[in-house]
């Protein structure tokens, strides 16, 4: 039986009004179920890298939220977002990281100004003044969105090409 004939048989039996399953009905449902399971396996095989990353991210979401259902909901929300949203957030976070690393490198404190002594504030002002030109580049964003997007695309395609045949 073809999948189409299996489905037609089940609809015919259901629409008949008096449904008493027989062996052909059981065979039809078995064949449909087997086909669905084969298709799922093929889909998973074709998307092995996605499955690895999904599992990894899902595990981290569960650890972060301490709630499986909420973590799964969050994963679905992330998958529904446009890829450009993910790239934009990555760009923002990468530039924030580079800014914080630079601030630490030149000796700027993480303290809130209201928690600093007058001496610490004075030192901060001197550091900011001495590094103003470079600091402004980091505040704007040391990496452009275009550069980050190209880099991400290159890394993603390289990863796909390097790991697509791994189990």
Supply the pTM of this predicted model.
Answer: 0.75
For the stretch 90-101, pLDDT in tens is 999 999 999 999
Average pLDDT of span 79-97: 97
pLDDT > 90? residue 103: yes
Confidence (pLDDT) at 99? 97
CA diameter of the chain? 90
The domain spans of the chain are 3-80, 83-163
The answer to whether 128 and 108 have CB atoms below 8 angstroms apart is yes
Q: Provide the 3-class DSSP secondary structure of residue 135.
A: helix
Query: CA–CA distance from 97 to each of 20, 52, 133 (Å)?
Result: 66, 26, 18
Locus of tokens 């040391």:
142
Give percent helix, percent strand, percent coil of the chain, each to the nearest 5: 80, 0, 20
Residue among 66, 127, 135, 65 nearest 100 (CA)? 135
Q: What is the rounded CA–CA span in Å between residue 96 and residue 78? A: 21
């Amino acid at each position: 039986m073809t999948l189409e004939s299996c489905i037609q048989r089940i609809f015919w039996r259901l629409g008949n009004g008096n449904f008493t399953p027989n062996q052909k009905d059981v065979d039809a449902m078995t064949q449909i179920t087997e086909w669905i399971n084969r298709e799922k396996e093929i889909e998973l095989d074709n998307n092995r890298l996605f499955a690895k990353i999904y599992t990894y991210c899902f595990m981290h979401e569960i650890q972060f939220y301490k709630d499986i259902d909420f973590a799964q909901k969050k994963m679905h929300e992330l998958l529904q977002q446009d890829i450009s949203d993910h790239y934009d957030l990555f760009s923002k976070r990468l530039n924030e990281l580079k800014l914080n690393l630079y601030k630490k490198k030149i000796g700027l404190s993480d303290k809130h100004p209201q928690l600093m002594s007058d001496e610490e504030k004075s030192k901060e002002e001197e550091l900011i003044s001495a590094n103003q030109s470079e600091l402004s580049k980091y505040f704007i964003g040391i990496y452009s969105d275009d550069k980050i997007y190209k880099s991400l695309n290159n890394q993603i395609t390289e990863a796909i090409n390097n790991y697509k045949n791994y189990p």
